Structure 1
Amino acid sequence: MNISVVIPLLNEQDSLTELHDWIARVMQSNHFSYEIIFIDDGSTDGSWNVITHLSSQNPNVKGIQFLRNFGKSQALHAGFEKATGDVIITMDADLQDNPDEIPELYNLIVKDGFDLVSGWKKKRYDSVISKNLPSKLFNWAARKTSGVKLNDFNCGLKAFRKDVVKNIDVNGEMHRYIPVLAKNAGFVKITEKVVQHQARKYGETKFGMNRFINGFLDLITIWFLSSFGKRPMHLFGALGFIMFAIGFGFALYLGIDKLFLNPTGRLITDRPQFYLSLSTMIIGTQFFVAGFLGEIILRTKEDKKRYSIKEALNLE
């Protein structure tokens, strides 16, 4: 199997047949062996019926149906888990990603040796105010925070070497940061390719302005996890030490002042420095405890499924 095309979707029944035919035509004209994995993320329209029909007509079509909507990251995770291709291509199901880009993406992985190639929709057909400007701000923040120099982190059209998707854990809403996850896993040969963006032909977008708020929150999360996810004590222990040292310093000053410098002065408990000292030492201790708990959780956690599959087609 050379190429796996992983397509998460939600209520895209009108576009699926056209998308399938387009992908199949590209694969056949380039003599690629392929599989198309549709992941139905809890659609309420006839998307699964279309996928079932396509799989009966084309044995290269495989399908996964979730019991409910679990999110794009979980859909990609399920697709990556089942993909068998040497090169994995991801794209959205709304026909805004162009399957004609697949051969060039494939060559960048196989011939040029990249681990990951991310699409860059340099010319977009989205609303400037609702999507373009927030997207530019989001991408700028992602570049600065992660160190991955991409112009379009959220483009659904990407190509991966098989080892990449088998060694990253896409969860929550981290699909926006797959290049960052790949970099953190040690896959540093990452590039981007300008791809054609097409206007939506059917249906309506599933994303609103809240996705950018969630995106920035996820960016903070992934920065924290990449920096301290494997060693929480390094962060919480350092903060705890600093806070405890500040509190202990105030306590030492108050003790010396009361015993040697001003024994007839105010009671220690009447001075605001006492409460500052007490508070900072308690906070420092709590940070230490948080660090220890984080280390214990890391060493005892069990992997759990983050989605439930209702039905699968042509998959072992």
Structure 2
Amino acid sequence: MNISVVIPLLNEQESLRELHDWIARVMLSNRFSYEILFIDDGSTDRSWETIEALAAENDAVKGIRFFRNYGKSQALHAGFRMARGEVVITMDADLQDNPEEIPELYDLIVNQKFDLISGWKKKRYDDVLTKNIPSKLFNWAARKTSGLKLHDFNCGLKAYRKEVIKNIEVYGEMHRYIPVLAKNAGFAKIEEKVVQHQSRKYGKTKFGMERFIHGFLDLITIWFLSRFGKRPMHLFGALGVLMFLIGFLSAGFIGADKLYKLYHQQPTILVTQNPWFFIALATMIIGSQLFLAGFLGEIILRNKTNNDRYKISDVLNVDMLTDQKQAKQQQAGKRITG
């Protein structure tokens, strides 16, 4: 299969059929074999009924429905697990992403051998104060922190080589930072492409100003995980040892000063009356706690198990084999053929 189109959605009933027809026309005109994966993230309108109707008309349409709203990252995670195309395209369901971009995105991945192409909505039709300016600040901070020279991290229109989406974990609200996750996983050929941005035709946006606050917090998280996620002891252990040594040396200085004054018969005060004693003691305690935090982080990292982060209510035309089951089947096949 050439292309999988993964579309997370929440209450986008009005736009789904138009988006499907547009994608299907593009695929047929370019003779692509394709699948369209609609991930219904707990919609409360008739979005799922529309997806069911589309699946009945077109075998290439597949659907996954969550019990409730889990977030865009979880929807993408589910779509990535089920995608079978050589190239995976993600786009939003609100018709603000243009399916006519798909052939060029496909060419960049397949023929020019890029791992990931991120869309850049250079000309936007969003509100300047509530979206454009905060978005520019957010993207500037993301560039400085991640080292990736992308202008629009949050653009929903992206193209991936299949191996990329099968080797990254999209969780929490990390969908904004998939290029960073891909870079951290070792996929270096990441580029951006200017794409057309269209004004919203139906409904209203599902994201408010709080998404930028969450975005900055997630940016700090992903910076930390990219540097210390596999070695928490390198951060917490180093800080803990440093704090403990500062406290220990401070306590030693207080003790040495006490002994010096006693030896020279100078007036002294009780060690516990010296405020620096408590500062040194607190520093040693904090240092010990930081060291233990790093130690516990290493233990948890080595014993963690992956749990499902969402519950699926219904599926349409989707093979529900989990990655673990697929691996077992592949191993069994190897044993039989061997």
TM range (shorter): over 0.9
Residue in 1 aligned with 2:280?
277
Residue in 2 aligned with 1:95?
95
Residue in 1 aligned with 2:293?
290
Q: Secondary structure at the match of 1:42?
A: coil
Gaps in structure 2 of 5+ consecutive residues? 320-338
**TM-score scaled by structure 1?**
0.99
1:310 is aligned, of 285, 303, 313, to: 313
Q: Which amino acid letter does the alignment assign opposite residue 65 of structure 1?
A: R
Q: Secondary structure at the match of 2:52?
A: helix
Q: CA deviation at 1:265?
A: 1.1
Are 2:65 and 1:62 aligned?
no
Are 2:183 and 1:180 aligned?
no
d(CA) in 2 for partners of 1:190 and 1:142?
15
Q: CA deviation at 1:146?
A: 0.5
Q: CA deviation at 1:21?
A: 0.2
d(CA) in 2 for partners of 1:226 and 1:261?
51
Q: CA deviation at 1:204?
A: 0.3
Q: CA deviation at 1:266?
A: 1.1
d(CA) in 1 for partners of 2:25 and 2:262?
89
- Percent identical among aligned pairs is 73
Residue in 1 aligned with 2:77?
77
Q: Which amino acid letter does the alignment assign opposite residue 21 of structure 1?
A: D
Superposed, 1:184-263 pairs within 5 Å as 184-263=184-263
d(CA) in 2 for partners of 1:11 and 1:85?
26
d(CA) in 2 for partners of 1:191 and 1:183?
11
Q: Which amino acid letter does the alignment assign opposite residue 248 of structure 2?
A: F
d(CA) in 1 for partners of 2:262 and 2:179?
62
Q: Which amino acid letter does the alignment assign opposite residue 131 of structure 2?
A: K
d(CA) in 2 for partners of 1:261 and 1:282?
27
With 251-260 and 162-171 compared, the bigger mean Cα shift is at: 251-260
d(CA) in 1 for partners of 2:19 and 2:318?
20
Q: CA deviation at 1:262?
A: 4.3
Residue in 1 aligned with 2:48?
48
Q: Which amino acid letter does the alignment assign opposite residue 161 of structure 1?
A: R
d(CA) in 2 for partners of 1:254 and 1:315?
70
CA contact (8 A) 2:87 2:159 kept: yes
CA contact (8 A) 2:105 2:117 kept: yes
d(CA) in 2 for partners of 1:113 and 1:315?
28
CA offsets 1:273-315 (integer angstroms, 9 cap, x no match): 1011100000000001101110111011110000000010001
Aligned-residue RMSD, C-alpha = 0.7
CA contact (8 A) 2:261 2:268 kept: no
Q: CA deviation at 1:260?
A: 2.5
Q: Secondary structure at the match of 2:289?
A: helix
CA offsets 1:159-189 (integer angstroms, 9 cap, x no match): 0000000000000000000000000000010
CA offsets 1:45-80 (integer angstroms, 9 cap, x no match): 000000000001000000000000000000000000
Residue in 2 aligned with 1:27?
27
Q: How many residues align?
A: 316
Q: CA deviation at 1:92?
A: 0.1
**TM-score scaled by structure 2?**
0.93
Q: Which amino acid letter does the alignment assign opposite residue 239 of structure 2?
A: L
CA contact (8 A) 2:3 2:87 kept: yes
Residue in 1 aligned with 2:322?
none
d(CA) in 1 for partners of 2:258 and 2:197?
73
Q: CA deviation at 1:255?
A: 1.2
